[in-house]
Amino acid sequence: KQNKSNHNNIINTYLLLQPTATDTTQRLGDLRSEMIKSDFQAYIIPSSDAHLSEYLAPSEKRRVWISGFTGSAGTAVVTLTKAAMWTDGRYFLQAEQELDCNWSLMKIGEQGVPTIEEWLVQELGPGMNVGGNPFLFSIELWLIYASNLASGGVALNQSIPDIVDNVWTDRPPLDGDEVVVLPVQYAGVEWTDKLLDVRKEMKSAAVDYLLLTVLDENAWFFNLRGSDIPYTPVFTSYTVIGMTDVVLFGNMSYFAKQEIKDHLAKQEIGCESNNTCATVQPYENARPYLQQLTTTQSNAIFWLPSDGTTYGMYSVVDEDHQISDISPLKIPKSVKNSKEIEAMRQAHIYDAVALCEYLQWLEINVPKGTVDELNGAEKVKNLRLAQPTSKGLSFGSISASGPNAAIIHYRSTPETNRPLTTTEVYMIDSGGQYFEGTTDVTRSVHFGTPTDFEKEAFTRVLMGQIDTQSAIFPYTKDGNYLDMLARRHLYDVGLEYRHGTGHGVGQYLCIHEYPPGIGNAVGGGYPLQPGMFTSVEPGFYQDGEFGIRIENVNVVVEAVTEHNFGGYKFYTFDPVTLAPIQLKMINVDLLSDKQIKYLNDYHKKVEVIVGEEALRQNKPELKDWIQKATVPLARGTSTRNNISWSIMIFIAAVCTMVNVSLE
């Protein structure tokens, strides 16, 4: 223990001495010149892109560029004399290390720290203007800022173009290069059929036009995939759907290929005759197009989805000409059809082969002392890339050894990299993109002898996962309803984890897709339905010592029940992630018979399905490894029992000896 804390102190000191901050003097000076030209006395730079994406393309990381702060959450505010960064507790240390002395750090949630609006009102005073790029704010956020600022006499003004872009001279180009068609064998439905469904929804909502802003909705709607954003196969675009037309706005060179042209305007099904041919326009035209519609069709009603429209688009349509509701694509996208489900299952089988190969490789190499977090992550990445139809990773792997795994959103760096050893728990949370689907899986493993507490924590996490996955629940319930099942065995002994239990997953799309999820603010109020996918990923983290998480992706399926109260449908989960749970981490005595049977049935499936795929890929040793990793658990075969037997024999022997000596 002593050794460990010394080690941490050394790492911290080392980090603080690093020149981790970016010199922002020039950038701030340039931005301030632009602010003066536009008559803004302050400028807000949030961390989003124009489609409110979770992961950003490098060209969209404006807040990172202006400040040097690379954390995923933070808002920069620059006045003519000051610069301040608001971020939350996850990032205080990192922000201190990365911001230079031109910046003050505003620690959200700490006593006496003003909100952005309070600070601006105090710094500027009435009659002043604050600028911001309206495409980087959700409708709600912009309206809140504007109203709070207005009450202090400060105006919030739209800045188009973004003046940060005027001064960001070495801004990286967009990452993407093309879009590809997702074949209907994986998508299940032609996009033109989705169009007709959407128009039905539009008709019943009495709207004339629907705007799609969120990139995975554009990609899903058109059965197209792109490569503009790391880990996420989307392309930068807007779609405006009318009752007789549909316009896709994006990089015109993506749509120039004949295959894409034919896909967007399906002449073979006579798309002209039923208004299902899409036309394309340059990305920049989207806002002017919407604006023009509001004048050429002055009675038209617009559906600007409340959950994915930016203020930049919202502000061109009069409020009394729009409805604000969630996107009509949101639920259909998350309820996968039978082809999508089949494809997702296939993606998870490929992924399981890669993960099993990795676990097998670790068993051989960790004891040699040659594996660390970074080269481990590289290894599992390469194994995924070698799978048929691999399209890269679905997020940056979390490869965490010992105490590093207790940091929930840990990312290994050369400074924090730890070796994998036979004395610590190792956690690997990783996933891939495949043409068929998106995967996300976590396993926690030990290559020596885990402590009793590590085993207990692991087993309770596993019990929560099993209870959640095997839960049968009526069709009226959302995922949040099930959250307690995942935690109760930890609660029983006063343990807990500070994160949600599950999130939805896209089909060859975003790693986080909502509304499906468990114990997740955004998923509330949307009942789970067959075809929805969600991860189930309870965990336990002992600060400074170890971290455990077990994560499977599951599909909601209909349950077979003995009764059928009120004609209700009942649902349950089927795990599509197929990777062994390490047996030596389990304390069998804690498991119920039902949990043991569930785990054994699951492992049987892993053995058969992944084993077959391993053979198909000509990897017989992998099949053997899988077979060993999935042997059925039974009571009375655990090490503990073996030890107690040994102790009893030992005691008996001692007694015999004592008896003998007494005689």
Calpha distance 645→637 (Å, rounded): 11
88 vs 96, beta carbon nearer ligand NAG: 96
370 vs 641, beta carbon nearer ligand NAG: 641
Binding status of residue 657 toward ligand NAG by CB under 6 A: no
- DSSP, res 389: T
CA distances 442 to 356, 429, 537, 553, 579, Å, are: 12, 4, 8, 10, 9
Q: Which residues, 176 to 215, sit near ligand NAG by CB under 6 A?
A: 177-178, 190, 192-193, 196
177 vs 621, beta carbon nearer ligand NAG: 177
Binding status of residue 147 toward ligand NAG by CB under 6 A: no
Which of 271-279, 385-393, 412-420, 496-504 is the region at the interface with ligand NAG (rule: CB under 6 A)?
A: 271-279
Shortest Å distance, C-beta 193 to ligand NAG: 5
Calpha distance 54→74 (Å, rounded): 13
Which of 247-255, 359-367, 566-574, 602-610 is the region at the interface with ligand NAG (rule: CB under 6 A)?
A: 247-255
Shortest Å distance, C-beta 264 to ligand NAG: 13
Which of 62-70, 90-98, 173-181, 533-541 is the region at the interface with ligand NAG (rule: CB under 6 A)?
A: 173-181
Shortest Å distance, C-beta 178 to ligand NAG: 6
Shortest Å distance, C-beta 153 to ligand NAG: 10
- For ligand NAG, which residue of 12, 274, 382, 413 counts as binding (CB under 6 A)? 274
Shortest Å distance, C-beta 28 to ligand NAG: 4
Q: Crossing angle for the helix pair 452-469 and 593-605, nearest 10 degrees? A: 80
User: Would you state the structure tokens that stand for residue 336, as one six-digit string?
Assistant: 């996968």
Q: Which residues, 617 to 646, sit near ligand NAG by CB under 6 A?
A: 637-639, 642
Cβ atoms of 316 and 287 within 8 Å: the answer is yes
Calpha distance 279→269 (Å, rounded): 16
- For ligand NAG, which residue of 183, 270, 288, 448 counts as binding (CB under 6 A)? 270
Count CB atoms within 10 A of the CB of residue 197. Answer: 14
204 vs 273, beta carbon nearer ligand NAG: 273
Cβ atoms of 188 and 337 within 8 Å: the answer is yes
6 vs 267, beta carbon nearer ligand NAG: 267
Binding status of residue 245 toward ligand NAG by CB under 6 A: no
- For ligand NAG, which residue of 6, 29, 499, 652 counts as binding (CB under 6 A)? 29
Which of 9-17, 269-277, 291-299, 430-438 is the region at the interface with ligand NAG (rule: CB under 6 A)?
A: 269-277
Binding status of residue 126 toward ligand NAG by CB under 6 A: no
250 vs 515, beta carbon nearer ligand NAG: 250
Q: Which residues, 313 to 372, sit near ligand NAG by CB under 6 A?
A: none
Residue with token string 């040097």: 68
Binding status of residue 79 toward ligand NAG by CB under 6 A: no
Name the maximum alpha-carbon separation found in the chain. 112
- DSSP, res 551: B
CA distances 240 to 229, 248, 328, 437, 541, Å, are: 22, 7, 13, 27, 46
Binding status of residue 284 toward ligand NAG by CB under 6 A: no
Binding status of residue 122 toward ligand NAG by CB under 6 A: no
Give, for 510, the enclosing helix (H) or strand (E).
none
Binding status of residue 39 toward ligand NAG by CB under 6 A: yes
Calpha distance 483→487 (Å, rounded): 7
Count CB atoms within 10 A of the CB of residue 534. Answer: 29
Shortest Å distance, C-beta 235 to ligand NAG: 9
Give, for 376, the enclosing helix (H) or strand (E).
helix 373-385
Residue with token string 């003003």: 114
Q: Crossing angle for the helix pair 620-629 and 338-365, nearest 10 degrees? A: 90
Phi–psi pair at 329, nearest 5 degrees? -90, -15
276 vs 430, beta carbon nearer ligand NAG: 276
Residue among 396, 376, 392 nearest 384 (CA): 392
Shortest Å distance, C-beta 17 to ligand NAG: 18
311 vs 571, beta carbon nearer ligand NAG: 311
- For ligand NAG, which residue of 174, 265, 300, 559 counts as binding (CB under 6 A)? 174
Q: Which residues, 151 to 170, sit near ligand NAG by CB under 6 A?
A: 155, 157
Shortest Å distance, C-beta 655 to ligand NAG: 23
CA atoms within 13 A on the CB side of 46: 20
Beta strands 570-575 and 473-474 are antiparallel
Binding status of residue 415 toward ligand NAG by CB under 6 A: no
Phi–psi pair at 85, nearest 5 degrees? -125, 120
Give, for 239, the enclosing helix (H) or strand (E).
strand 238-242
Q: Is the dihedral of CA 633, 636, 640, 646 positive or negative?
A: negative
- For ligand NAG, which residue of 251, 387, 444, 468 counts as binding (CB under 6 A)? 251
Q: Which residues, 80 to 119, sit near ligand NAG by CB under 6 A?
A: 101-102
Shortest Å distance, C-beta 168 to ligand NAG: 15
Calpha distance 546→446 (Å, rounded): 11
Binding status of residue 276 toward ligand NAG by CB under 6 A: yes
387 vs 630, beta carbon nearer ligand NAG: 630
Closest CB to ligand NAG belongs to which residue? 192
Binding status of residue 269 toward ligand NAG by CB under 6 A: yes
Beta strands 129-132 and 155-158 are parallel
Binding status of residue 267 toward ligand NAG by CB under 6 A: no
User: Would you state the structure tokens that stand for residue 136, as one six-digit string?
Assistant: 């980087």
185 vs 642, beta carbon nearer ligand NAG: 642
251 vs 322, beta carbon nearer ligand NAG: 251
Residue among 511, 503, 504 nearest 394 (CA): 511
Shortest Å distance, C-beta 380 to ligand NAG: 28
SS3 annotation, 111-165: CCCCCHHHHHHHHHCCCCEEEECHHHCEHHHHHHHHHHHHCCCCEEEECCCCHHH
Q: Is the dihedral of CA 656, 658, 660, 663 positive or negative?
A: negative
- For ligand NAG, which residue of 79, 129, 309, 469 counts as binding (CB under 6 A)? 129
Instruction: Give the contacts of 584 (CB within 8 A, at least 6 positions apart).
Output: 446, 449, 450
192 vs 507, beta carbon nearer ligand NAG: 192
User: Would you state the structure tokens that stand for residue 381, as one six-digit string?
Assistant: 């990445």
Binding status of residue 296 toward ligand NAG by CB under 6 A: no
Binding status of residue 572 toward ligand NAG by CB under 6 A: no
Q: Which residues bind ligand NAG (CB under 6 A)?
A: 25, 28-29, 38-39, 101-102, 129, 155, 157, 173-174, 177-178, 190, 192-193, 196, 251, 253-254, 269-270, 273-274, 276, 637-639, 642
